[in-house]
With several copies, the nearest count.
Chain A
Amino acid sequence: AQDIYIPLISKGFQHQFWQAVKSGADQAAAEFGVRITFEGPDNETMVDRQIDMLAAALANNPSAIGFAALDSQAAIPLLQQAADAGIPVIAFDSGVESDIPATTATTDNVAAAALAADKMAELIGGAGKVAVVAHDQTSRTGIDRRDGFLNQIEANYPDIEVVSVQYGAGDQLQSTEVAKAILTANPDLVGMFGTNEGSAIGIVNAIREMATEGVTIIGYDSGKAQTDAIREGLMAGAITQNPVGIGYETVKAAVAAMNGEELPAIIDTGFYYYDQSNIDDAEIQAVLYD
């Protein structure tokens, strides 16, 4: 009997976030007795590389496919090919604008970033200058998190001014330099938001190296450096998604779709805000990675 093979084409590979997704997927694979592979391009601009990965995955006659689209339109011909061949497609992390995917396992990044904005406002007393170090200017997650934060501030906190939004490519070192430049240019800054792990750690590094005080940092995702910073009190708190859950749900949904089961349009894997007070709660610990 042929084994059940489910390739997952993600948006990234080496990043901790995607590795956590992978570990969730591996967990589900073991549980349901299926074989998976997990691949993703080096960075989130490489739309056509991801298409090539999808093409290679299709060549292996998979039973189902998990796909986190960098650009949902670009992949449609290949997804159509999969649909025609009767291969179920499960979207994860962000949606595919098409009715091909059986379901989408995702986090609402806009809402999550808005929560970060609310927490920021609360911590800085609803007034002052803040800045954003984002990880990407053009990718879906980068845009959603940046805009989710900015729009929430603009709509609800008129006394908070976002003085700068700059991008560090999610690279810790580059984000450190970006954050330092922002701090130099704005000595009266009271808060900074980093839109992913690398960006958040960059901010922490910058604050540490410049020995700046009085800046409230809110991060995104987890990772040891970030959880440590929260425990130390250097970082106020961070948003975390449930990457392990995303990976797990994707594979689980794929198996279900193969078996012809009905699936909801969206599997919301949820997001959480964590800080010193709740970091050790079981519910939070379950979604953190390091």
Chain B
Amino acid sequence: MTTTTANTPQTMLSRIIAAGTHQRVLAFASLVVLLIGFSIASPNFMQTSNMIAILQATSVNGVLAVAVTLVIITGGIDLSVGTMMTFCAVITGVVLTYAGMPLLLGVFAAIATGALCGSMSGTFVAKMKIPPFIATLGMMLILKGLSLVISGTRPIYFNDTPGFSLISRGSIIGDIFPAMPIPNGVLILFIVAGVTAYILNRTVLGRYCFALGSNEESVRLSGVNTDRWKIAIYALAGGIVGIAGLLIASRLNSAQPALGLGYELEAIAAVVIGGTSLSGGRGSILGSLIGALIMAVLTNGLRVLSVAQEWQTVVTGAIIILAVYADMMRRKGAS
């Protein structure tokens, strides 16, 4: 790790990349291979509009993967991210559409709801010593049900809050550089990833993330209040999930209360493809981002190639195994 103190944007970027290479994010090579392969296979793949579609498709899963990375590094797992995202979206819908509050309050509500739910999971895990798998499985079901209850099993539309759909669909970058109409959702993904990577590598919270995943008992014996930190980490992850809730709601211009199941597996898969170990102690945000991109490129590419849907699944499964295998080989070669 580097020891610079000034924080110019460049050094920040280089730091994140350095932190990434430090964790040997070799999954990157698989991503490049996939991109090249699909470009050769279909002339339609490498269009700007399709690249943006891929990034857009990554945004929600990417943010969820970032959140779940934190929890996985502590040695835990979070199965509730999918339905928690939905729950946050529904709460935002209640605040904005049912209560007619201003946009900013809706944004705040989503993040606060996520943080609250996260801290509940964290409390179950830290204080009640419930295995993370069960604690977050329980939360997953509870939040799934509550989303339906609160929304009355109907989608909540944001038609009365015109600015809302811009959160994900607008393009600040596109306004400045019309040639690069990158949607805000993608920008938000990168900002979230950057900030989280910074927290993970440069702050006490991040340090305890790794420490807890490495040897929780030893951290506790060193007099650290591990319970409190664990709750904080789950809460942070929850807040990030809240952002994912905003992104998906904004993209669909509605809070879809039934959505969410299955997203947790995809997010965890992205994290693991990115080289983070499920046994904790090791991992990187950059890796998870690349993992999420690999999955999005794979799905999009196979669709653009018009591969029959049943074969898409087969090929996706095989390529995921191969990508991780290639990654293991490169890692072995590097060490």
- Which residues of A are in contact with B by a Cβ distance under 8 Å? 7, 13-16, 19, 37-40, 42, 45-48, 51-53, 55-61, 71, 73-74, 76-77, 136-139, 163-164, 166-167, 171-173, 176-178, 180-182, 184-185, 187, 201, 205, 208-210, 223-225, 228
Contacts and interface: CB of A to CB of B under 8 A. Distances in A.
Contacts of B193: none
B60 A73 contact: no
B326 interface: no
Interface centre among A55, A76, A77 (most CB of B within 10 A): A55
16 contacts: A7-B306, A14-B148, A16-B155, A45-B260, A47-B252, A48-B60, A53-B303, A55-B57, A138-B148, A138-B256, A167-B309, A172-B256, A173-B251, A176-B251, A185-B44, A209-B56
B222 interface: no
Contacts of B57: 52, 55, 177, 180
B30 to A, nearest CB: 20
Contact of B56 (A42, A55, A228): A55
B300 A52 contact: yes
Interface string B251-262: 111101111111
A175 to B, nearest CB: 10
Contacts of B306: 7, 37, 60, 163-164, 166, 182, 185
A107 B42 CA distance: 37
B44 A184 contact: yes
A184 B153 contact: no
B309 A39 contact: yes
Contact of A224 (B45, B53, B157): B157
Contacts of B252: 47-48, 51, 71, 73-74, 172-173, 176, 201, 205, 225
Contact of A166 (B56, B157, B303): B303
Assign chain B's interface to a size class.
35 or more
Nearest to B185: A209
A185 to B, nearest CB: 4
Contacts of B262: 42, 46
Given A166-B309, A167-B309, A185-B303, A42 B256 contact: no
A42 B299 CA distance: 14
Contacts of B260: 45
A230 to B, nearest CB: 15
Contacts of A178: 303
B300 A73 contact: no
A16 B11 CA distance: 49
Given A14-B148, A225-B253, A137 B153 contact: yes
A197 to B, nearest CB: 10
A59 B47 contact: yes
Contact of A59 (B49, B153, B254): B49
B259 A184 contact: no
Contacts of B154: 16, 19, 138
B258 A15 contact: yes
Contacts of B44: 59-61, 184-185, 187
Contact of A184 (B53, B183, B256, B299): B53
B304 A14 contact: no
B305 interface: yes
Interface in B145-193: 148, 153-155, 157, 159, 169, 183
Given A138-B148, A138-B153, A173-B60, A181 B304 contact: yes
Interface centre among B49, B56, B258, B304 (most CB of A within 10 A): B258
A205 B45 CA distance: 20
Nearest to A81: B49
Contacts of A40: 309
B155 A177 contact: no
A46 B259 contact: yes
Contact of B157 (A14, A53, A73, A177): A73
Interface in B196-239: none
A104 to B, nearest CB: 20
Given A45-B260, A59-B49, 13 more contacts: A16-B155, A48-B259, A55-B56, A58-B53, A60-B44, A137-B310, A138-B148, A138-B155, A166-B309, A177-B299, A180-B300, A185-B303, A224-B155
Nearest to A169: B262
Contacts of A47: 252, 256, 259
Instruction: Report the 6 A-B pairs with minimum CB-CB distance, sorted nearest first.
Output: A14-B258, A181-B303, A56-B303, A138-B258, A74-B252, A55-B53
A223 B153 CA distance: 13
B268 interface: no
B248 interface: yes
B277 interface: no
Interface centre among B44, B45, B53, B262 (most CB of A within 10 A): B53
Contacts of B254: 71, 73-74, 224-225
Contact of A181 (B53, B153, B155, B253): B53
A22 to B, nearest CB: 8
B50 interface: yes
A181 B300 contact: yes
